[in-house]
């Protein structure tokens, strides 16, 4: 129960971060990606602000034997720089550049009730499902 409450609260903080930084706004994101246009460095500042917090403190947390509320850390297990990683990043980048939405901002922007955002999120879910069909487990 405590972990559910944490997840909800963390979602709220995350969404505020996306809104305050305007990363929820595709125009800001495209402005950053458009290096040949009027370049907008805001996304870089957001990354810097986030990494200034996570880079020094993540190792301290991971030094513990387990998290505060859960039995163990659930971390990614893959370590190889394999073709799916590269192909996936290229495909994701293409989609990100087309609409200016990545998963976090798109989900948060659902709160606007915009049919366009709903369409994007449904397409994203279908895409994730399609790709999951081809996973070998």
Partner 1 sequence: MTEPNTLGGLIGGALIGLAALLLLALNGRIAGISGILGGLITSTGRGDRFWRCAFIFGLLAGAGLYALTCGGLPLELQARGPTLLVAGLLVGVGTRLGSGCTSGHGVCGLARRSPRSLLATMIFMVAAALTVFLTRHIF
Read off the tokens for 34: 């458009």
CB of residue 59 to partner 1, shortest distance in Å: 8
CA torsion sign for 21, 27, 32, 38 is negative
In the complex, minimum distance from the CB of residue 41 to partner 1, in angstroms, rounded to a whole number: 5
How many Å from the N-terminal Cα to the C-terminal Cα in the chain? 30
Residues 42/31, Cβ–Cβ less than 8 Å: yes
Residue 108 and residue 18 in contact, taking contact as beta carbons nearer than 8 Å = yes
- 83-118 CB burial, b ≥16 within 10 A, e <16: eeeeeeeeeeeeebeebbbbeebbbbbeeeeeeebe
Least distance from C-beta 39 to partner 1, angstroms? Answer: 9
Q: Which DSSP symbol is given to 21?
A: T
**Closest distance to partner 1 from the beta carbon of 118 (Å):** 10
Shortest distance in whole angstroms from residue 116 CB to partner 1? 5
């Amino acid at each position: 129960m405590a972990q559910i409450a944490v997840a909800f609260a963390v979602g709220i903080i995350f969404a505020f971060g996306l809104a305050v930084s305007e990363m929820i706004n595709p125009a800001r994101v495209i402005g950053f990606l458009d290096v040949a246009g009027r370049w907008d460095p805001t996304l870089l500042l957001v990354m810097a602000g986030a990494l200034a917090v996570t880079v020094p403190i993540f190792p301290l947390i991971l030094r513990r034997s387990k998290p505060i509320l859960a039995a163990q850390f659930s971390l990614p297990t893959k370590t190889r720089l394999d073709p799916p990683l590269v192909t996936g990043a290229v495909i994701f980048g293409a989609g990100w550049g087309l609409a200016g939405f990545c998963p976090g901002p798109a989900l948060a922007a659902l709160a606007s009730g915009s049919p366009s955002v709903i369409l994007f999120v449904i397409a994203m879910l279908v895409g994730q499902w399609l790709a999951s069909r081809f996973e070998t487990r």
